[in-house]
Amino acid sequence: MNQARSSIFSGGISSAIAILALAAFALLVGTAQQARAELQINVTDGIVEPLPIALAPFVDASGQEDKLGRDIAAVATADLVGSGLFRAIDEKAFIQNPAAAVLAPRFPDWRQVNAQGLIVGTVKRQGDGRIRVEFRLWDVIGEQQLVGQAFVTERSNWRRVAHLVADAVYTRLTGEDGYFDTRIVYIAESGPASRRIKRLAIMDQDGANHQLL
DSSP alpha helices (H): ranges in 138-196? 158-174
The count of residues in the chain is 213
pTM value > 0.85:
no
Q: What is the band of 163 on the pLDDT scale with cuts at 50, 70, 90?
A: very high
Neighbours of 80 (CB within 10 A): 27
Partners of 138 in beta bridges: 118, 145
CATH number of 11-179: 3.40.50.10070
**What percent of the chain stands above pLDDT 90?**
55
* Crossing angle (nearest 10°) for helices 66-82 and 158-174: 40
Mean pLDDT of 171-179: 88
Q: What is the pLDDT of residues 13-60, one digit of tens each?
A: 334 455 444 433 333 333 334 434 567 766 555 657 899 999 999 999
β-pairing, 182-190 with 197-204? antiparallel
CA distance 104 to 16: 31
Q: What is the band of 179 on the pLDDT scale with cuts at 50, 70, 90?
A: confident
Parse the chain into domains and list their residue ranges. 11-179
CA distance 138 to 144: 6
Window from 39-53, 92-106, 119-133 with minimum mean pLDDT: 39-53
3-state secondary structure of 35: coil
CA distance 61 to 27: 23
128: CB partners within 8 A, 6+ apart? none
Neighbours of 210 (CB within 10 A): 11
